[in-house]
Amino acid sequence: MTELTLKQALIADPRAQSAELASAVAADPELQQLQRQLLLDQARLKQAFEFTVPASLEINLLRQQMLQSQQTQKRRFSAAIALAASVAFVAGLTLNWFNYGFPEMTLGQHALAHVYHEQPYMAQMQTPQPLSQVNAKLASFGAELTDWQYNIVYANFCDFRGTRSLHLVMQTEHGLATVFFIPDENSLKFEHHFSDELYRGRGLALKNADLVVVSENDDDLQQLPAKLKQQIKFI
């Protein structure tokens, strides 16, 4: 092997594991010096790539990850609360404006304002309402709902431009439908049909009250008013 070939072989294999290369290195001081330098460089590289992982590193990384996750969740929660508060605030202002801002207000416009006011948090407010509890509220208006098949998931009193009324939400085959029971002494202009970009509604004049049904589904407006007219009795 030539001197150049020997040096190339030693660079490729600093430990000179082959017999021929080991013999050549043993007989040549220059090759021995090159071997020492190569082995030293190899040891330095190995040391550079080998380091001891502190025992606390994994715990610290996990703690940091949890802290970052908690901070992210806090930011998201704060943003959600701020958005919900803004929506509720604007909806409240809208409802107050509908209650007292417009001198001429129809029954349908006021009903839609109520629906939009409750919409941001209606999912959290839904609780099955026994018919007996609903009738306890209707009794204050001298009425009751008999033999009713649909589930009622919300029932609460509300204000229709100064008239104490009842707000119901019913679960039908097509989704949720909102029903308002408003005593007939209300000051709102009655209308049989109304709608906007999302909801449609029907008004129904009963013996001592006006009934308003609001839904996104036309089938509810076809069926519910007639069923309610038949099942609501005045006592």
| Number of residues that this document lists for the chain | 235
- Cα(104)–Cα(46) distance, integer angstroms: 87
Same domain, 117 and 228: yes
Same domain, 17 and 132: no
Q: Is residue 113 part of a domain?
A: yes
Same domain, 129 and 41: no
- Cα(226)–Cα(103) distance, integer angstroms: 31
Domain ranges, residue 15 = 3-48
Give one DSSP letter per residue of 24-69, joined into a string.
Answer: HHHH-HHHHHHHHHHHHHHHHHHHHH--PPPTTHHHHHHHHHHHHH
Q: Is residue 61 part of a domain?
A: no
Q: Give the pLDDT confidence score for residue 21 in this predicted structure.
A: 72
Q: What angle do CA 47, 48, 53 make, to 5 degrees?
A: 85
Please give the backbone phi and psi of residue 160, each rounded to the nearest 5 degrees, phi first. -110, 85
User: Which residues make beta-bridge pairs with 175?
Assistant: 172
CATH number where 219 lies: 3.40.1000
Q: Is residue 64 part of a domain?
A: no
Q: Is residue 58 part of a domain?
A: no
Provide the domain count of the chain.
2
- Cα(125)–Cα(117) distance, integer angstroms: 13
User: Which residues make beta-bridge pairs with 193?
Assistant: 202
Same domain, 107 and 32: no
Over the chain (235 residues), the average pLDDT of each successive run of 10 is 70 73 74 72 65 55 57 53 47 47 72 83 85 94 92 92 91 93 88 90 92 93 92 91
Q: Give the pLDDT confidence score for residue 97 in this predicted structure.
A: 44
